[in-house]
Amino acid sequence: MPDLQPVFSIQSLDFYYGPKKALSNISLDIEPHKVTALIGPSGCGKSTFLRCLNRMNDTIPGTRVEGKILLNGSDIYGREMDVVDLRQRVGMVFQKPNPFPQSIFDNVAFGPRVLGRVESKSQLEGVVEESLKRAALWDEVKNSLHENALGLSLGQQQRLCIARVIAVQPEVILMDESTSALDPIATLRVEELIAELKKDYTIVIVTHNMQQAARVSDFTGLFWLGELVEFAPTTEIFTRPKQELTEAYITGRMG
């Protein structure tokens, strides 16, 4: 069986906030239908890197990118790339749930409506139901779809945000510490969901929780002071890291 092409190929990526270099010479491939976890101490560049993958950093004045990020072979910073299309293909789930202050149904329906993906009310209803099912939320909300989404628990709100991303049929789902605001039970639900979703999507997560990285990911990268110290299959990173810094961080001696 031939090797699958990486979904993302990151090549010698440097990133600047004005004169400050935040990422230095990052190179890695992100494999399809796998969970890639990015770990490291606060301020080491994990979230900055994640936001490079769908150009969320473009909204910050004075930022600059050098190097290449290829999404299925296309340079996402090239002139041909439509940023709206990119952000539909590469969805983001943020640290704190951010549902719109409207109904559960309208939250999930928002993307398909804006993108003109649906031609009838029944088709839209089908997309909403399917997205909520895939986000493991349908059974909890199917009788309250027209109630305000802000009335949901934090864990439910985060799964709603995942459903909202799924509704526009992305190729990749980025999760920026998406369980750090949740209680342990809600965290477990999202972790179970990640394991289920990777059958259909490529997932990249940023997490401070090394146990979580060990539980849910296939590959792990350690960021440190804007550099990628080590990137390998998760089992290798946690059992036989090649770099002393990786071992020191994982065992709690540094960071």
Residues 11-27: what's their mean pLDDT?
Answer: 97
Of the candidates 148, 154, 147, the one whose C-alpha atom is nearest the C-alpha of residue 179 is 154
Strands of the chain, DSSP E:
8-17, 20-30, 35-39, 63-71, 74-75, 90-93, 172-176, 202-206, 219-224, 227-233
| Domain range enclosing 22 | 8-98+174-250
Cβ 136 vs Cβ 83: under 8 Å = no
Per-residue confidence (pLDDT) for residue 2, from 0 to 100 = 45
Residues 7-19: what's their mean pLDDT?
Answer: 97
CA–CA separation, 158 and 45 (whole Å): 23
Q: Is residue 115 part of a domain?
A: no
DSSP secondary structure code for residue 44 in this structure: S
Per-residue confidence (pLDDT) for residue 255, from 0 to 100 = 65
Q: Is residue 126 part of a domain?
A: no
Of the candidates 101, 15, 9, the one whose C-alpha atom is nearest the C-alpha of residue 51 is 15
Q: Is residue 215 part of a domain?
A: yes
Q: Is residue 190 part of a domain?
A: yes
The pLDDT tens digits of the residues spanning 88-110 come to: 999 999 999 999 999 999 999 99
Report the half-sphere exposure of 25 (CA within 13 A, side-chain side).
2
Q: Is residue 217 part of a domain?
A: yes
CA–CA separation, 167 and 34 (whole Å): 20
Q: Is residue 67 part of a domain?
A: yes
User: Of 92-101, 115-124, 205-214, which range is least confident?
Assistant: 115-124
Report the CATH number that the domain containing residue 23 is assigned in CATH. Answer: 3.40.50.300
CA–CA separation, 237 and 162 (whole Å): 28
| Counted domains in the chain | 1
